[in-house]
Amino acid sequence: MSLLAVRDAIYKRLHQSYMRPAGYALRPSRSEQHTPPFHRALALRSQPWNTAESVDFDLEIVVAHDDYNPYKANGLKVGLGGQDVSLLSWGLAQIQNSSRRYWTLNSDADLEAVEGQVRMAIEKHAIPIFRRTETLEGLVSLYAERGPSAGYKPHSWALLKMGNIEAARSVVRAAIDTAPHEKAQLHAQQWLASIDA
């Protein structure tokens, strides 16, 4: 069995164990749930450098909202630009371990151990995040815990949707103050200007 087939088999087992019981449908490369206005997916992400000898992959937690995602058609479009089209788009491998960007399958990998790591990440992080993002209030609290680097645009949008303009401005001001470079600071300033317009 190829490593890509092994990866796909791991993903299908995890879908059956966790996502299907939670009401998620299995689609090619993702588990998704549509409960308008929210749409959630756990998307399988492969790396472009994968070979027959080594496969790197991640699972992306994606949450969209009908009013935030103008590019959405017939459900959730995953991978069209991350937070440009989603309220939340976070890689599960890095959430589990900040120094990791993906899991690796190769001839040296203990496949059961890799599957166990992914299983633990879904239990500890993905499922709780999906539960918390069933409401705007839950989404706002999740973003507040993670700080400005987690995504000031969707965080402030959710606050505006809830009618809390001052809190939305505060979130964007914090993003301006902590911007890693001038271009990011300019984007945040433009977002703040759009709130004030």
pLDDT in tens, 17-31: 999 999 999 998 899
Res. 56: pLDDT tops 60: yes
pLDDT in tens, 186-197: 988 998 998 887
Residue 146 to residue 87: CA distance in whole angstroms:
14
Class of residue 110 by CB neighbours under 10 A (exposed 0-12, middle 13-18, buried 19+): exposed
Residue 29 to residue 63: CA distance in whole angstroms:
16
Query: Are the beta carbons of 2 and 52 closer than 8 angstroms?
Result: yes
pLDDT in tens, 147-185: 767 788 889 989 999 999 999 999 999 999 999 999 999
CA angle 12, 14, 15 (to 5 degrees): 65
- What are the extents of the domains in the chain? 3-133, 139-196
Among the listed ranges 67-71, 95-99, 107-111, 122-126, which one has the minimum average pLDDT value?
Answer: 67-71
Label residue 69 by pLDDT band (50, 70, 90): low
Res. 125: pLDDT tops 50: yes
